[in-house]
Amino acid sequence: MEKHEWKKQEKAYYAPKSKPEIVEVPAFQFVTISGEGNPNGKVFGACVEALYSVSYAIKMGFKKLAEKPTGYTDYTVYPLEGIWSLNPKAIKEYDGSLNKDDLVFDIMIRQPDFVSEAFFAEKLQQSKQKKSNPMLERAELETLEDGKCIQMLHIGSFDDEPASFRQMEEFADQEGHTRSSKAHREIYLSDFRKVPTEKLKTILRFKVDE
């Protein structure tokens, strides 16, 4: 049975170029954790750890099953993603500058379609028994659909993302689209805990209206 590798088999969603493009993103399911505050803080780090704990428990759990679910194939665990916005007060007072303490996030790791709610719940419980991470209490299995978006690959520091977003917004305007909200999605192709800042690869994506 061929292993599903998202890097090779889902290039439309995970291999954009370093220039803006339009993409239609269908519904996918994710293990998600919601939170707020500075992503450099301990809470965000604990959320990331919790997501990987559950995601690997799910992947390895399937390997131990004698009878696999319909549609099952071995797979590479999907990358960490995050949907970022600002709290309501910060949105109202937004002047172009960013205080990272005002950030609101939903971070997530995508799951294959054959992951059921029951199997997720079982592996989440196992993760809680193995790890004393309070962020596991926030984990949920959700289906999210981005729809029509503008995306591009950003290389370098997260602090330099505004320049990429300006390119994306200009491209959206040229194509007759309008950014639908301040929220955006980031997909982390690099492990920001290990990779030098200047080499980080991040997909940036935001929804657009017609």
- The candidate with the shortest Cα–Cα distance to 20, out of 128, 179, 165, is 165
Beta-strand (E) ranges in the chain? 21-36, 80-86, 103-111, 140-155, 178-179, 184-188, 201-209
Six-digit token pair at 97?
Answer: 């500058």
pLDDT for 95 beyond 70: no
Greater pLDDT, 92 or 55: 55
Give the separation between CA 72 and CA 66, rounded to whole angstroms: 12
**Does residue 154 contact residue 203 with C-beta atoms inside 8 Å?**
yes
Give CA angle at 147 (47, 124), nearest 5°: 30
pLDDT digit string (tens) for 48-74? 999 999 999 999 999 999 999 999 999
DSSP-assigned letters across all residues of 158-185: GGGHHHHHHHHHHHHHHTT-EE--S-EE
First to last CA, the chain: 41
pLDDT for 98 beyond 80: no
pTM of the model: 0.94
Greater pLDDT, 159 or 89: 159
Give the separation between CA 51 and CA 170, rounded to whole angstroms: 34
186 pLDDT band, cuts 50/70/90, is: very high
- The candidate with the shortest Cα–Cα distance to 186, out of 52, 104, 82, 85, is 82
pLDDT digit string (tens) for 19-40? 999 999 999 999 999 999 889 8
- Predicted local distance difference test score (pLDDT) of residue 22: 97
- Predicted local distance difference test score (pLDDT) of residue 17: 95
Question: The domain at 6-209 falls in which architecture?
Answer: Alpha-Beta Barrel (3.20)
Please compute the mean of the pLDDT values over residues 178-184 and round it to a whole number.
Answer: 93
- Predicted local distance difference test score (pLDDT) of residue 1: 62
Q: What are phi and psi of 13, to 5 degrees?
A: -100, -20
Greater pLDDT, 80 or 97: 80
